A = this chain, B = another copy of it.
Amino acid sequence: MGDFGFTLLKSDAGARLGRIGTGHGAIDTPAFMPVATQGTVKSLTPADLVAAGAQIVLANTYHLMLRPGHELIRELGGLHRFMGWDGPILTDSGGFQVFSLSKLRRIGEEGVEFRSHVDGSLRTLTPESCIVVQHALGVDVLHPLDECLAHPASAADTERSLALTQRWLVRAVAAHRAAGAPGALFGIVQGGVYETLRVRAVEDTCALDLPGYAIGGLAVGEPKPVLCEIAGLVAGRLPVDRPRYLMGVGKPPDLVEAVARGVDLFDCVLPTRNARNGQAFTADGPINIANARFARDPGPVDPDCPCEACRRFSRAYLRHLFGARELLVYRLLTLHNLTFYLGLMRRMREAVARGAFASFQSRFLERYGVESLRGTTDYTPADSEA
């Protein structure tokens, strides 16, 4: 794991203020990772990401392995140089995409066999080859191949799947350690919506003493209170001195709720994907720029936002660009949404630093127009752990 390390600086009302060190710079947590699926955050340059406040991006092992290929990226000096981003990069395992995007052919003890969604070629991914791909990319944080079930899944299916994921994890850890390559391999805690499976998964995963832990298998269709409950349950049982990453979450209120339950790291396609559908996030909730009420609106998307889109352009202009399908609007709304998400994380860090997270949480959720889920779950273990 080389230069990787996590320092917990402060806890407040369940939320944690921390700092992750990597060979490519530090990440202040709680942190949100913009999604650079194919080695680019859609429409933005690395300089835009820095301007928006990003300290780390997430890339997809599955996509880059298929196109342009990890060996090509290795030849060209690794993913950082290839995409022109010199901050930390985290990759998922590719497992989620194998199950959601490809034509899955066979899943077995050895690994998965699937047809590429790019060219239809037959490919395999094993716990070991998945590590090889991520070493070729040269990323700072790696993830092991796992099986990600959709919701709902029966307890029996979930238990079988979890056991396979755990056996794959042991092989991934062995492959990573044997290679002696840089990069921190996180463990992924699966177990669906079943508390006993989640508890067992935490124990088995943490037994491997990994530098960080991801909470997987959520935001796959389960109700929001269940997401919060399971995330809180798992986060509360993970070691205090390691970062906790809630995969694929979420909407702004979800981030606040999860931070309140002790989660440190997030990624989600919502701010970038929804930008391309015209949705802009604001402190008062999301708006859709296509709405006719913005046709003659001279004000910015969000008067409090420091991004280029809000400093330079009106809602009326952005609505015109969106109606005319102009490329610039996708870029401007993406920049805005990421600025909003990353600004939200900064505000949460500042709230923890001054011991005011609980009041921040209730004020944010009230203004955003949602009720806190804090009272809807028996689990608030994040409150008791730091």
Contacts and interface: CB of A to CB of B under 8 A. Distances in A.
Interface in A32-66: 38-40, 42-47
A99 interface: no
B68 A328 contact: no
Interface string A299-329: 0000000001000111011011101101110
Contact of A323 (B68, B82, B324): B68
Interface string A322-363: 011011101110000000000000000000000000000000
Given A84-B313, A313-B84, A314-B82, A327 B296 contact: no
A42 B320 contact: no
Nearest to A321: B40
B76 A38 contact: no
A195 interface: no
Contacts of A298: 76-77
A84 B317 contact: yes
Contacts of A320: 38-39, 67-68, 82
A201 B188 CA distance: 76
Assembly stoichiometry (copies): 2
B67 A323 contact: yes
Contacts of A76: 296, 298, 314, 316-317
Contacts of A295: 68, 72
A97 to B, nearest CB: 14
A308 B47 contact: yes
A68 B316 contact: yes
Contacts of A75: 296
A327 B328 contact: no
A44 B316 contact: no
Nearest to A46: B312
Contacts of A72: 295-296, 316
Contacts of A38: 320-321, 324, 326
A77 B313 CA distance: 13
A274 to B, nearest CB: 15
A328 B82 contact: no
6 contacts: A43-B328, A45-B312, A68-B295, A72-B295, A82-B320, A84-B317
